[in-house]
Amino acid sequence: MKDPINEPREYRNDARRKMFSSSFSVTCLLVSSLAIVVLATLLLSIFSTGGGWLSAEMLTASHRENNPEESGIGQAIIGSLVICTICGLAALPIGVGTAIFLEEFKPKNRFLRMLHGLVQLNINNLAGVPSIVYGILGLTAFVYMFGAFSPIRVNDQPDYEIGATYSYQTKTLGGNYVRFPATPKIQPFFEIKQPRQVSSSEGQPFKLNVVSATTDAAEYKDKLEETVILGTKAELTSHNGVESYTTQTLGGTTVFFKAEPTYSQFAKILEPLMVSDPEGNTFELNVLSKSDAIPTNPEVLSKSVFADSPDPTKRSSASIFRENSFFHMHLPFSKSVLSAGLTLALVILPIVIIASQEAIRGVPQTLREAAFGMGATRWQVVRSAVLPSAIPGIMTGAILAMSRAVGEAAPLLAVMGGVLGTTNHLSSLMDKTPVLPVTIFKWAGDENQGFEHLAAAAIIVLLAFLLLMNSVAIFIRYRYEKKLA
């Protein structure tokens, strides 16, 4: 009997196997290097397109329609910074808190452990949700707040608001503007512009639908009793002793809803009153009647208006004017930097959590034992032993997450729309603002060729900004590592 190992056999070709192996290594190297080629091409093409358009003016100017030569990214840079600050302030504490909870407060109870695992799985999954979905969530949850409040339209005051002062503004005969304070009053008429809760004369509450006059009301043909045409005027009346507005629906039912004091859009000026100009000077406004001669002295002219009258050429209408303080807030948040910042915070939250978890997991268990052994409570262990060691990792992760936020365009498009420029400077959290990535997106799609170069220049600024943030992350890591060693 011969051992099978001693059977004569041919060797497989060693040289060929070795050749395959080394040629595979070369292939790998070539394929991997493609990443470098791609990156280089990308940077080169962007620098060659936009490099020449970088200038101090471009960095400070704001968008001008059809005029790329004079457009710039001043507002966009500030907008991006503000939104990222809000995003960071919201996402970092919540993210780090969640990570601490998940890593350091693992429950013993089986059921709670399962819940704990589910939260973890959920976070990993959230990291894979497309950012545009977060954008839609931001639109629903922050901008419209699930429709819990009436939507905010231009020139309407929101239901819940702080930090805004209303006044009426009118133009004097001298051409300058003056203002006088406005007080909310119950108006004799109310224009129905949106669906609202009403009650029938029997007190039965229901939702009143609104159809635009042009829309075929067929859609609501079964519900005409509960439908009015957009802009229907409701009159002031007293219903069960409450000041209410009343109107008739298309179906002929009479409905009532409570009258709230509001600012009317326009105020009539009938007699002299105290006004102030934008510089803050207060003086009495002369009110001229139709028949009065128009004064010639410019000083007097700038303090005079016509009394309100049917004659449109000799009428001064004072219209509502809102001034927002820096802390101006209202519900819902509408399309504002606050909504945008919070939405971005949701986008980066899973990234912050996962990075912080990894940093916390990297803290050696012996440190925890040491603190526990001294009689520290779990939170004291976290605060004094775990967090100090995990901070560099957390900071690095946080900055990387923030750099993701800086470059996000899709959620901001959803939440603020494609804003390219605003007339006012960003003064409160409720303002809209252009941001860098959205600006780049809109410019890249602009038909005017100049904007293509401008978009490339804006990309260079954005990339420089990201590079800066990443360098800070590396610096922090390096410094802490040195300090701890």
Partner 1 sequence: MQKLATPSNRAQGRSLSKSTKYQASTATIDSSSESMMTAIDIANFNAFYGTFQALHDLNLKIPRQQVTAFIGPSGCGKSTLLKWCNRMNDIVPIAHATGSLKVGDRNILSRNTDVVDLRRQVGMVFQKANPFPKSIFDNVAYGARLHYKISRSELYELVEWSLKKAALWDEVKDRLKSSALGLSGGQQQRLCIARAIATGPEILLMDEPCSALDPASTARIEDLIFELRRQFTIVIVTHNMQQAARCSDRTAFFFEGKIVEEGATEDVFTRPQKQQTEDYVTGKFG
Partner 2 sequence: MSDQSLGQGELLAPPASPRREFRPRSSKSSKRWQAVVVTGLVFCALVSVFTTIGIIVMLVVESWGFFADDQIEIWKFLTGTKWTVGQTQGELSYGIWPLLSGTLRITGIAMMIALPMGLISAIYLSEYASKRIRSLLKPTLEILAGIPTVVLGFFAVKFITPYMLEPLGDFKTFNATSAGIAVGILCIPLVTSLAEDALQAVPNRLREGGYGLGATRLEVTLKVVVPAALSGIISAFLLALARAIGETMVVALAAGSTPTLTLDPRMPSQTMTGFIVETFKSESVVPGTLSYFSIYAVAAVLFLITFGITLIGQIIRMKYREVYD
Contacts with partner 1, residue ranges (CB under 8 A):
106, 108, 113, 364, 366-377, 380, 384-385, 388-389, 483-485
CB-wise, 18 or 425, nearer to partner 2? Answer: 18
Which of the listed partners (partner 2, partner 1, none) does 64 bind, with a CB threshold of 5 to 8 Å by partner kind? Answer: none
CB-based contact 413:339 (threshold 8 Å) = no
By CB under 8 A, the residues from 106 to 125 that bind partner 2 are 119, 121-125
Q: Which does 371 bind (CB under 5 to 8 A by kind): partner 1, partner 2, none?
A: partner 1
Residues contacting partner 2: total by CB under 8 A: 91
Q: Which two tokens stand for residue 261?
A: 């004091």
For residue 290, the SS3 value is: coil
| Near partner 2 by CB under 8 A: residue from 59, 78, 81, 126 | 126
Which residue, 438, 481, 428, is CA-closest to 344? 438
Amino acid at 87: C
- By CB under 8 A, is residue 377 in contact with partner 2? yes
Identified binder of partner 2 from the candidate list 59, 78, 81, 137, rule CB under 8 A: 137
Q: Which is nearer to partner 1, 171 or 368 (CB)?
A: 368
Task: State the binding partner of 31 from partner 1, partner 2, none, CB within 5 to 8 A by kind.
Answer: partner 2
Q: With beta carbons less than 8 A apart as the criterion, state whether 25 and 32 touch.
A: no
Q: Which of residues 300-339 bind partner 2 (CB under 8 A)?
A: none
Dihedrals phi, psi of 33, to nearest 5 degrees: -65, -20
Q: Kindly tell me which of 171 and 383 has the beta carbon lying closer to partner 2.
A: 383
Nearer to partner 1, 269 or 363 (CB): 363
> Between 280 and 375, whose beta carbon lies closer to partner 2?
375
* Residue with Cβ nearer partner 1 (275 or 371): 371
388 makes contact with partner 2 (CB under 8 A): no
Q: Which of partner 2, partner 1, none binds 287 (CB below 5-8 Å, type-dependent)?
A: none
With CB cut-offs between 5 and 8 Å by kind, which of partner 1, partner 2, none does residue 298 bind? none
What is the DSSP pairing of strand 304-306 with strand 282-288?
parallel
Find the binding residues for partner 2 in span 67-96 (CB under 8 A). Answer: 93-95
The angle at the Cα of 316, spanning 312 to 318, to the nearest 5 degrees, equals: 130
Cis ω before 310 (30° cut-off from 0): no
CB under 5 to 8 A by kind: which of partner 2, partner 1, none does 389 bind?
partner 1
Minimum distance between the CB of residue 484 and partner 1, rounded to whole angstroms? 5
| Residues found in the chain | 485
Give the whole-angstrom CA distance, residue 8 versus residue 10.
7
Give the one residue of 410, 426, 457, 476 binding partner 2; rule: CB under 8 A: 410
Selection from partner 2, partner 1, none that 219 binds (CB < 5 to 8 A by kind) is partner 2
Q: Which of residues 217-236 bind partner 2 (CB under 8 A)?
A: 219
- Give the C-alpha distances (Å, rounded to integers) separating 165 from 168, 260, 281, 419, 424: 10, 18, 18, 25, 17
Taking each helix axis from N to C end, the angle separating 74-104 and 110-126, rounded to the nearest 10 degrees, works out to 160
CB of 372 to partner 1, least distance (A): 6
Task: Give the one entry of partner 2, partner 1, none that residue 484 binds, where binding means its C-beta sits below a cut-off of 5 to 8 angstroms depending on kind.
Answer: partner 1
**Which is closer to partner 2, CB of 61 or CB of 410?**
410
Q: Where does 105-195 have alpha helices with state H?
A: 110-126, 131-138
SS (H, E, C) 41-96: HHHHHHHHHHHHHCCHHHHHCCCCCCCHHHCCCHHHHHHHHHHHHHHHHHHHHHHH
Quote the Cα angle for 327-88-392, to 5°.
145
Contact status: 378 vs partner 2 (CB under 8 A): yes
The one-letter amino acid at 275: V
Residue 368 interacting entry, from partner 1, partner 2, none, C-beta within 5 to 8 Å by type:
partner 1
From 58, 318, 340, 406, residue interacting with partner 2 (rule: CB under 8 A): 406
Question: What's the min distance (Å) between Cβ of 393 and partner 2?
Answer: 16
Burial letters for 119-154: b for 16+ Cβ neighbours within 10 Å, e otherwise? Answer: ebeebeebeeeebeebbebbbebbbbeeeebbebee
Least separation in angstroms between residue 359's CB and partner 1 is 13
Question: Would you say 140 or 200 has its CB closer to partner 2?
Answer: 140
- Two tokens, residue 404: 């993701």
Q: How far is the CB of 151 from partner 2 (least distance, A)?
A: 7
Contacts with partner 2, 422-441, as mask; x by CB under 8 A: ---------------x--xx
Angstrom distance (rounded) from CA 210 to CA 77:
41
Residue choice 81, 224, 287, 463 for contact with partner 2 (CB under 8 A): 463
Q: Is 390 in the site for partner 2 (CB under 8 A)?
A: no
* Sheet arrangement for strand 254-258: 189-191, 233-239, 242-248, 254-258, 196-200, 205-211, 227-229
- From 456, 457, 461, 476, residue interacting with partner 2 (rule: CB under 8 A): 456
Place of tokens 């629906």: 249
